[in-house]
Amino acid sequence: MSNIPQILRDTKTIAIIGLSKNPSKASNEVARYLMLYYTIIPVNPRYEEVLGLKCYPDLASVPVQIDMVDVFQRSEAVMPFVAPSIEAGIKCFWMQMDIRHEGARLELESAGIYVVEDKCTKVEHAKVEHI
């Protein structure tokens, strides 16, 4: 049984790793949608601001509690975000479409963090209309 609807209901703050300024990129489109429902925190060392929001170079720099990390990175680039996510005390580590990493999933789950692989937050949120 999937806990995705409950995770999406319980989440208030989402740090989006790899959020791009480019409006044609999936991360930007998804963030613009999610901003209607959640507090979005851009995480990308290339930018100081994205979508009018302060952008942080890494998770450790984010000064507020993060409920979910939403990852827009290649599968092989996921592991460096695992330990900082655990240290940040997140509840959910979400890997977007076509992103999956067994080692990351096992480490995160062993720390008590719910993991979603190969799914889009925007698509899954739209399925749960009553959030």
pLDDT of residue 128: 87
Domain ranges, ordered by start, for the chain: 4-127
How far is the C-alpha of 56 from the C-alpha of 94, rounded, in Å? 18
Contact 43, 55 (CB under 8 A): yes
- Say if domain 4-127 classifies as CATH 3.90.1200.10: no
Give the residue-averaged pLDDT of 9-23.
Answer: 97
The pLDDT of residue 130 is 58
40 pLDDT more than 90: yes
Q: Name the DSSP letter for residue 25.
A: S
Q: What is the mean pLDDT of residues 68-78?
A: 97
Report pTM: 0.94
Segment 74-89 shows an average pLDDT of 97
Average pLDDT over residues 84-99: 97
